[in-house]
Structure 1
């Protein structure tokens, strides 16, 4: 579904590459986790794959479409759920979703039905006509997710979709993503929640300094790392325990 070849990104005036000569393949219907310390290059990689950033070099395809030659067609295949809330605070949940759905070309009763179904699944039906500025963080995260999947994309890119939310909202988000995946949607997601990734992802890649340093099935990575009993222990063994603060 996704094939990345020697993909690199160096920001203007930067001393180092944020992503460097990265190769990766993601098969159809996988849940692929991109894991790494702060500043490792995860968000930069997703931004390139979703055409929000232009690569410095290298190439990639999604469902066989080359991003340079088929950018518009490619965008129709993907959904994006960013780390920051992509919602208009003065609009209601329904109005936000109606706006984003119309941008994907969904109209009329079909759009209204889709919004209603997703709000029901996410436990937000009774808040449909409330402004999102009044929502809790978990509620905003759930609306944020719906906005990126209304058009039934083949691939969904999620940048830390459960950061800062309550346990109930996290479970609702993960359960809905599992449902989408069971229906054939390929999921690519970043997270700092290693325990979540261990049980949610079919495959993971650990990225550090813009390069993939380890990839595979979580259970096998744990098995192959000496004295490791969790994905978090594998992660620390490969990336170290030093703080990764950056500004």
Structure 2
């Protein structure tokens, strides 16, 4: 494999990076549809990265949208999106919607959810914009997480790890039963209950990775 030197140098400057062996695990690409600098300055993004990697049967690697002329690669192992079973987007700003579309188009993943099947990655999204109004992006995503990831992730990941190799319809049907998961192809005109953390002290929102390439540099942040 020919390593991307920019990604390699960036990785060497990080402290706290989570590196896991892929053997026997479900690989998830955690995607921030903007630059590394902006994404890594987001504590919510770092929190989801830590939570996903806390599962023994999950390996999560980060992907950002920077070099617009090349296929995006994961930071940790420089793998393309087609190597992952799940593409999980964290979307904070409406202006990044166009980046979502361009990022999907740059990969081997069909742009529209209706054109994907079990041979393609499951494409999901969460974040403030999605929780407020997922409809502008509904044609592009298999499902959305509406609310707090700390609450939604455990039951969602159980369904994914057990059914990721099933027919796509079966996987989506299973996900549709998870509170807070909105499946556009199945939930038309069906209200989705937004999920909230009831006791915020039960979950720590802190820096996971320290790097000089963020807004506050090497400072350890607590929210």
Asked if these proteins are the same fold (TM beyond 0.5), I'd say no
Normalising by structure 1, what TM-score? 0.33
Query: Between Structure 1 and Structure 2, which shows a larger proportion of strand residues?
Result: 1
TM-score by length of 2: 0.36
